[in-house]
Chains A and B, each alone.
Chain A
Amino acid sequence: MFWNKEMETISVERLRELQLERLKKVVKYAYERVPYYKKKFDEVGLKPEDIRTLDDIKYIPYTSKADLREVYPFGMFAVPLSEIVEIHSSSGTTGKPVVMGYTRGDIGVWKEVMARSITMMGVTKEDIVQIAYGYGLFTGGLGFHYGALTVGATIVPASAGNTRRQIELMRDFGTTVLCCTPSYALYLAEYAKDEMGIEPSTLKLKAGSFGAEMWTEEMRKEIEKRFGLKAYNVYGLTEIIGPGVGHECQAQQGIHIQEDHFYPEIIEPETGEILPEGRTGELVLTTLTKEGVPMLRFRTRDITALITGECSCGRTLRRVKRIQGRSDDMIKVRGVMLFPYQIEKAILEVQGVEPHYQIILTRPHHLDEIEVQVEVSKETFSDDVKTMEGLKKKLEKRIEETVGIRVAVTLVEPKSLPRSEGKAKRVIDKRGLS
């Protein structure tokens, strides 16, 4: 099902023309109106006219989250505040918040891409959409609200929290579509069953749009099983527009990026080199139509890959894989990218308990070695040497299968790995690379 079939199934050739036309326009617009871009362009001697093909985008300097923080609050705005109709902001948990302003036109784009996103799940005006993302400065709640409003569905603007009430609303109103974070969806299912005696599969939910945090295929299966719905991946970020940058269709084979509005590239996070389609790297996005805060080559820090080939749904808009990690957490060993959470997942699968572990990288003979120290838990300790050696081998095998490189597992005593106040320090890099 399509919201805007003409655009969503546009020929690739025509789409590239449109993207180029829009890219040239937004580059000129940003250069003329945002001092930050003018300065960046001038530093590398680039003029907006130099962008003649889509390929030329590679000459444009990247924009990072740090750049946005520096100009807090309104330094990136391309229009006077009188033209801004809405402001959203990131939480600023890792520094100064990032502030984004939307013009009336931007809200129009947001409504369009969110209407497409919601329609991709087969949702129509007949549906009852419960939005359990937070409403407010966070883009999740209002983004879905605008989309559902545009589609004409019945909105239940529950916002985040108040779990018991969420479930009562779902039950009493017959909610058919749930929008929230995947971890909250699982919590809702558990709460309904354990605290209220309501079997989640008896609710009328048929679809759910989940995002705003990293999740896995296993979680998808779990959510689908518990509620008896189809779970879809939504992608977005405040810096670009909020939710609606991309969404999964009913094929559930990757996230279609709304390419006529957001131009995707995948780069090697360390070198900034552009990677060919299919390779895994950091997603970089350029807004092609945004007026309030045009964003040129924004480094999302999200790790994914462009999926090659056509989607069975008929959309020509390219897809990306589900987000596999943050480039900040990435470690590179023997040229292979890996993430601590992949190793954590592998250990969890073998041990069945939340693991305490540490990854130690060394380079003894000009070749990277990776050691994973895993704390032996009460549950996994056996008096039998064979069993313990077996556990070690199983861990090594499962981790190798998951990350694609051989690792050495060392079993260590419980609580022997350092615990820090907030996040545990998972990676010790002794290679002396940086």
Chain B
Amino acid sequence: MKIKQLSVFLENKKGRLYEALSVLAKEGINIRALTIADTSDFGILRMIVNNADAAKRALEETGFTTKITNVVAIGVKDRPGGLAEVLKYLYEADINVEYLYAFVEKSGEEAVVVLRTNNLDKTIDILSQRGIKLFDSQTIENI
């Protein structure tokens, strides 16, 4: 149930995000979700795309440093307390969240939360036991 996230190292330099996204556009890559973690002199662009391997290849060919990292994507009911419930399970299981970001899928009923924790296997076990919806990569790529 792990899905591939593509990370790109970005220097804090004018136009770099644009350049990275242009490469993906040219390659016909669709971005499902995106977030940027930034520090004073560099940023890390994290994305869920429809074809992580092709996107990685295209970016590397144009000189970007990239990495594929595994994350989980869960479906959370679009109502107050939806995400808190999930985090409570992880907290009880002593799992640390490294980062997360979310997007709302097209039907609007569900928020998709992308999650990276210090123990992905355990995260998957706990959340499945609790009946939380986990997306597989195919579903995510086709959203």
Contact = CB atoms under 8 A, between A and B. Distances in A.
Interface residues of A, number: 17
Interface in B31-64: 37, 39, 41-42, 44, 46, 63-64
B115 to A, nearest CB: 13
A413 B44 contact: no
B11 interface: yes
Interface stretch (B2-10, B80-88, B122-130, B135-143): B2-10
A384 B64 CA distance: 17
Contact of B10 (A377, A382, A384, A413): A413
A381 B11 contact: no
Contacts of A411: 9, 11, 41-42
Query: Of B10, B42, B63, B67, which is in contact with the most chain A CB atoms at under 10 Å from its CB?
Result: B42
Interface string B66-89: 110100000000000000000000
A238 interface: no
B37 A376 contact: no
Interface in A380-404: 381-385, 388-389
Interface string A86-130: 000000000000000000000000000000000000000000000
Contacts of A377: 65
Contacts of A382: 67
Contact of B39 (A378, A385, A413): A385
A385 B44 contact: yes
A415 interface: yes
Contacts of B7: 381, 383
A412 B37 CA distance: 15
Contact of B63 (A389, A410, A415): A415
Contacts of B44: 383, 385, 388
Given A383-B44, A388-B42, A389-B39, A413 B65 contact: yes
A161 interface: no
A102 to B, nearest CB: 54
Query: Of A377, A384, A415, which is in contact with the most chain B CB atoms at under 10 Å from its CB?
Result: A384
B98 interface: yes
Interface residues on B, range: 20 to 34
B63 A414 contact: yes
Nearest to A389: B39
A406 B64 CA distance: 29
Contacts of A389: 39
B39 A388 contact: yes
B41 A413 contact: no
Given A378-B65, A383-B44, A416 B11 contact: yes
A64 B65 CA distance: 46
A414 B94 CA distance: 37
Contact of A414 (B65, B67, B98): B65
Contacts of A383: 5, 7, 44, 46, 67, 69, 116
Nearest to B42: A411
B19 to A, nearest CB: 10
A384 B114 CA distance: 15
Given A381-B67, A384-B98, A385-B37, A413 B46 contact: no
Nearest to B66: A381
A383 B67 CA distance: 7
A111 B98 CA distance: 69
B20 to A, nearest CB: 10
Contacts of A410: 41-42
B9 A413 contact: yes
A381 B10 CA distance: 11
A411 B40 CA distance: 11
A413 B60 CA distance: 11
A389 B65 CA distance: 16
Contacts of B9: 376, 381, 388, 411, 413
Interface string A326-345: 00000000000000000000
A378 B66 CA distance: 7
A366 to B, nearest CB: 24
A381 B44 CA distance: 10
B108 to A, nearest CB: 29
Nearest to A408: B41
Contacts of B41: 410-411
Given A388-B42, A412-B11, A381 B69 contact: no
Contacts of B69: 383
B65 A381 contact: yes
Contacts of B116: 383
Contacts of A416: 11, 63
B98 A413 contact: no
A410 B98 CA distance: 24
Contacts of A412: 11, 42
B53 to A, nearest CB: 15
A383 B63 CA distance: 17
9 contacts: A377-B65, A381-B65, A381-B66, A385-B39, A385-B44, A413-B65, A414-B63, A414-B64, A416-B11
Closest 6 CB pairs of A and B: A383-B7, A383-B69, A381-B65, A413-B11, A385-B37, A415-B63
Given A385-B37, A411-B42, A413-B16, 6 more contacts: A388-B44, A410-B42, A412-B11, A412-B42, A413-B11, A416-B11
